[in-house]
Every structure is written in C-alpha cells, then in structure tokens.
Structure 1
Amino acid sequence: MSKVISRDGTPLAYARTGEGEPLILVGGAFSTGTAEEPLANLLAPRFSVVTYDRRGRGDSGDTAPYAVAREVEDLAALIEELGGSASLYGMSSGGALVLRAAAAGLRAPRIAVYEPPFTVVPGTRAEKAAYTERLNTLLDEGHRGAAVELFLSAVGMPAEFVGQMKRAPVWRSFEALAPSLAYDDAVVGDGTVPTDRLADVTQPLLVVSGGASPDVMRDAARLTATSAQDGRHRSLPHQTHDVDPRELAPVLAEFFAAAA
C-alpha cells in the first residue's frame, strides 16, 4: 500500500486500482480498505479507484485527540494526492463521513452513499447520547470486547449471534478496531438526519438503500437525499445493509460516469 500524510501528520495507507477519473471508497464500522476491494475491483474498469484505511485502522496511523474534522482532512489529503479532485463513495458510517466532507467543501464532483446510519424516528437523541457515553466509557477503561458487544447490540444483532461471533476468529479483529467505533459514532452525530448540514451539499448526491432493509433506514435515506441541493434516492431490490457489490457497482458506475 502507498502512504499519504494528513494535515496533522497522520500517515494514511491507501491502494489504487484501475484507470479513469479518481474515485475514493470510504468504509464503515469495523472496516479497513480491504473491505471495499470487491467493489473497487468491479469499478476499476471505468475509474481509478482508491481504497484506504481510515485513521486508527489497518496500516494507517492515528493522532490524538480524535476529531471528525481530522477525518475530513484525511480525505482532503487523499484528494490532493489524486490531483486535487475526486468523487467519493461512502458505506454506512463512511457515508456519513463523505457527507460531512462534501458539506465542508471538499472538491468532489459527485458523491454517493449507501445507507448512512441516520434515523427519522422521533425521540432517539437521548438513546443515542446514552450509547455514546457508554461506548466511550468502555473504551476509556480498555474493555474493547464489551464495546464491540455494545455496538453489535445497538445495531440489532441478536445476543445469540453475538455469542457465536465471540467464539470466531473474526472477534479478535473486531476488538483491534474497537477504538474506531467511537470515531464512527462521532461522525454520525446525534443519529438524526443532519438536514441543516446536508443543505450545504451542492454537488450531485446519490443515496442508495436496500429494498429489503428496514423502513427506518429507507426513510432516512430518502430524507438524506431530499435534504441536499441536488440529491436523489435509489433503492436496490432485495438488498439489505449488507449489500452485494455486484448489485451496487453498476448503479455507482452509471452515476459517477456522468461526471466524466
């Protein structure tokens, strides 16, 4: 992997594949750049696709204290490395980060996100605040496994499945990435659709959701799209939050090709 240095001195590991207009893929919770490789390989025939380890993950560094603005600066450093302009795609909380970056004015001709983890359910701010406090307490005390359990429970994973995962090899990698859960949590904010911030997003925005995802996620995706100045929503039939990259790639390719 190649490295680029962010504004605060943090090294970021990235990989580039394909030829064409630059496109950066931004992963969500528990993901490093390798998680986006299947999608990157499908898009590489038409774009120069960059995957990267967000700060605090994989081969990238980390610099305390964390701030969402530093992750926006990370994307700015990657964009500068690619020539000063690159479209952005973000998965889940990576999508929330992409929207933050776009609202901050980064040079991205087009942006797309898949199911950023916002909600339109009233009265959820207090519940989200309690989750944030508990998550940060567990991480501050070094209880990474408990922090992973808290996150998985919060996203609706049944306790029996969590128990099975704790006995699987993947659990060790989850614990290694546990501190970054606080970063994702900060990016998402209070959990509601950030309509005021989205009003500052001026470039074409595509918000994709799964047709088989819960109504609350699809409703949040639609509101995210309509809150931006040039947003549109697309639903992928039979897909859930665990979207099949083979179904997603053609939709993204069509959208991003329009910028060429």
Structure 2
Amino acid sequence: MQKVSSADGTAIAYERMGSGPRVILVGGALCDRNALKPLAVELAADFDVVTYDRRGRGDSGDGTPYSVQREVDDLGALLTAVGGTAAVYGHSSGAGLAAVAASTGLPFTKVVLHEPPYGPDDVDSSEDGGRVLELIREGHGREAVELFLMMAGMPKEAAVETAAFPGMAEVAPTLAYDFAVMDHGAPGGRTPVHVLRKIMQPTLVVAGTASPPFMVDAAHRIVGILPAARLTELADQDHVVPPELLAPVLRDFLSR
C-alpha cells in the first residue's frame, strides 16, 4: 500500500499491481479498494492496475467539509502519483465520480462507466436519500445501509444481511458522499446531461441485462449523450459482475 496527499492534505491510500497501460479502478458506495481487487487481479496480466480507497474509507483519510471536487482532486493526485495519465473504470456511484472527474479535463485516456445509477428525469430520489442521511445523522448506520441497498434494488432480506457485515455501519457516513456525487450537475439523481457532454474520451458504458431496470435504462440513456461512447450489455448479469466475465470486456476496450 502507498499513499498520496490530495490537494487538501488528505492522505489517499492506493495499491498497484501488474504492468502495461495504466487503469484506475473506482469503487462504488460502501466499497474500499479491496472490493475491486479481484478485478484488478484479472487485469494485472495486461495492465498496470491501480485500486484506491475513496476518502473516508479503508486506509484513506477524510477532510471536512466534504465536496465532490475534493474527490475529483483525489483522483487528480492519484493520476500524478502513478505517472500522469491512465484509463479509468468506475462502478456504480464510482462511475458517477469517474464521469464528473473526466468532465473536468483530468487526463484520462479512456473512460468506462459501469452502471452509474442515474434515475429517470421525471423521478426525484432525494426523499429516500434524505431518509438515509437522517438515519446516518441519528447514528443508525446499519439501518441507513439497509435502506440504501433496498433503494438500489436489493431485496429486503439480502439488504438486512449485507448491512450486518462487519464494517458496514462504520462506512455508512460515506453514503452522503455518494449521494453528492450522483446529484452533481442534476439534483435528485437525474442524468447530468451537461456533465456527460464534456467527456471527450472514448467511453464504454457497461450494463447487465439482469440489473435493476432503472440502471439498464440509464446506461442506454447516457450512451446517447456521451460524445464518443458505445454500450456493452452483459447477458444475464446484474449490478455486480464476476471479474472473470467483466475483465475480458474491459481488456478488449482498453487495449484498442
């Protein structure tokens, strides 16, 4: 593990494995760098793969007040530390963060957005999100995680079980960061059209056909907005794809 200081002095922990063209993996809600390590292992034969802990998670520090720009700065510091340029893969809200970062002009060579959870433009998710944030403020981290996972389409029984995993309640406060990322440029979690239109790099949008319908719909919607994008659908896969199935798709796109 190594650390780099972000613009506000926050220490961001990261790991590297493999060799070849660089790619940074950005995790989604409730995930630290270990969540994407199996994917990193699959890619390491062909790429210099960087995984990191987003601020407030794992071995990274945090800073106050939070802002989406600080998470963009974290990626900028990470890019500088690993050599200046890299492709970026983001999953779920990590895809939302990757999209924001790419739109600011960070020197990503290619962008992969794996099911960023943008909602329909006629639906405002802020009420449910507000309840999650209220539970966090009240110190009910496990309940906040349960509600969030059900909002994301997970059945209640599975959400309750997952929320009870060790460490979940402790990382619950970072859900506020994910909501901020997904609200960036379009309050209520709607599709941030003007943000997406600024992404000029070749972009791959990935969706599983068995994922919640709103995520599949979002993938189709955003591929029509992005200036240089194509869509890959993974048959019978849901929001979390086995790395041995996902890695070949990424390898094909990133190697061209």
TM-score when normalising by structure 2? 0.94
**Number of residues of Structure 1 aligned to a counterpart in Structure 2:** 252
Q: 1:249 to 1:165 in 2, by over 3 A?
A: closer
**Contact 2:16/2:48, CA 8 A, preserved across alignment:** yes
CA distance in 1, matches of 2:150, 2:211: 17
The aligned counterpart of 1:238 is 236
Return the offset for 1:177: 0.8
Superposition pairs for residues 152-171 of structure 1, below 5 Å?
A: 152-165=149-162, 168=164, 170=165
Secondary structure of the structure 1 residue equivalent to 2:224? helix
Secondary structure of the structure 1 residue equivalent to 2:109? coil
Return the offset for 1:240: 0.7
The aligned counterpart of 2:96 is 96
Return the offset for 1:22: 1.1
Return the offset for 1:118: 1.0
Q: CA RMSD in A?
A: 1.4
Return the offset for 1:165: 4.0
Is 1:185 equivalent to 2:184 in the alignment? no
Which has the higher mean CA deviation after the structures are superposed, 68-77 or 146-155? 146-155
Q: Give the unaligned 5+ runs of structure 2.
A: none
Residues 122-151 of structure 1, C-alpha deviations (whole Å, 9 max, x = no match): 5311xx111232222222222212211221
The aligned counterpart of 1:106 is 106
Return the offset for 1:179: 0.7
Superposition pairs for residues 135-150 of structure 1, below 5 Å?
A: 135-150=132-147
Q: 1:253 to 1:70 in 2, by over 3 A?
A: same
Amino acid at match of 1:35: A
TM-score when normalising by structure 1? 0.93
Return the offset for 1:257: 1.1
Amino acid at match of 2:155: P
Instruction: Report sequence identity in percent.
Output: 46
Return the offset for 1:223: 1.4
Q: Give the unaligned 5+ runs of structure 1.
A: none
The aligned counterpart of 1:74 is 74
Amino acid at match of 1:25: L
The aligned counterpart of 1:4 is 4
Secondary structure of the structure 1 residue equivalent to 2:214? helix
The aligned counterpart of 1:255 is 253
